[in-house]
Amino acid sequence: MKMRGWRGLLAVAISLGALVVGTLPAAAAGATVNATTSTKYGTILTTSSGMTLYWHANDPVNGSVCTGTCATYWPPLTVTGAPTAGAGVTGKLTTFTDPAGKTQVAYNGHALYTFLPDKAAGQVNGDLKNAFGGIWYVTTVNVAAATSAPAATSATLPKTGTSPWSYAGGGLLILAGLGLLIRRRPRVG
């Protein structure tokens, strides 16, 4: 079946928008946190699908201040059951209720997150990013236990040269551009 006209363009725009925007991970019943070897970082923590896990310097012990846009860029690792430590995970896994009311996983007291620009297992694009009031770090198996809550700061857009339009807005920009193409197309007949 051949797609024609604006419906075909709309289908292409939606497909491209989905690629740009990405999807947020759903809560796993009993998420497994794995230890994975990285040539640059040593042994790091990953999800069961191999996505790198990070922690934020601004979070309190067994807590999170990452909400709204922050949680879009840095989706929290949430569970509906108890988290499981895979082979090589030597620290303590705990859970707490995050600001969205979900059960988030923590490692040695550090809340765990993935990073939206990490699109494949093994990618580590979020280490040392200065965003949302503090530095983000890849979680290594030997990260020290969190000992105190940092000073509270307000969440801001990332200071890494990105903006929400780089990710979520990308799909909207594609749709807007295709809308202009549709309107400017000469009518036949």
Would you call 17 helix, strand, or coil by DSSP?
helix
Q: How far apart are CA 178 and CA 50, in angstroms?
A: 35
pLDDT of res. 149 = 56
Q: Could you give the angle at the alpha carbon of 19 between the alpha carbons of 106 and 130, nearest 5°?
A: 45
Q: Token match 């990332």: residue?
A: 158
Q: Is the pLDDT of residue 159 over 70?
A: no
Query: With contact defined as beta carbons under 8 Å apart, do 112 and 54 qualify?
Result: yes
Q: Token match 């230890």: residue?
A: 35
* Side-chain half-sphere exposure of 111, counting CA atoms within 13 A: 28
Average pLDDT over residues 142-171: 54
Q: How far apart are CA 16 and CA 43, in angstroms?
A: 35
Q: Is the pLDDT of residue 172 over 60?
A: no
pLDDT of res. 18 = 38
pLDDT of res. 147 = 84
Who has greater pLDDT, 29 or 20? Answer: 29
Q: How far apart are CA 185 and CA 29, in angstroms?
A: 50
Q: How confident is the model at residue 12 (pLDDT cuts 50, 70, 90)?
A: very low
Who has greater pLDDT, 186 or 115? Answer: 115
* DSSP line for 123-136: ----TT-EETTEEE
Burial class for 155, CB neighbours closer than 10 Å (0-12, 13-18, 19+): middle
In terms of pTM, does the model score above 0.75? Answer: no
Query: With contact defined as beta carbons under 8 Å apart, do 139 and 115 qualify?
Result: no
Domain boundaries, the chain: 24-159
What are the structure tokens assigned to 43, written together? 């042994």
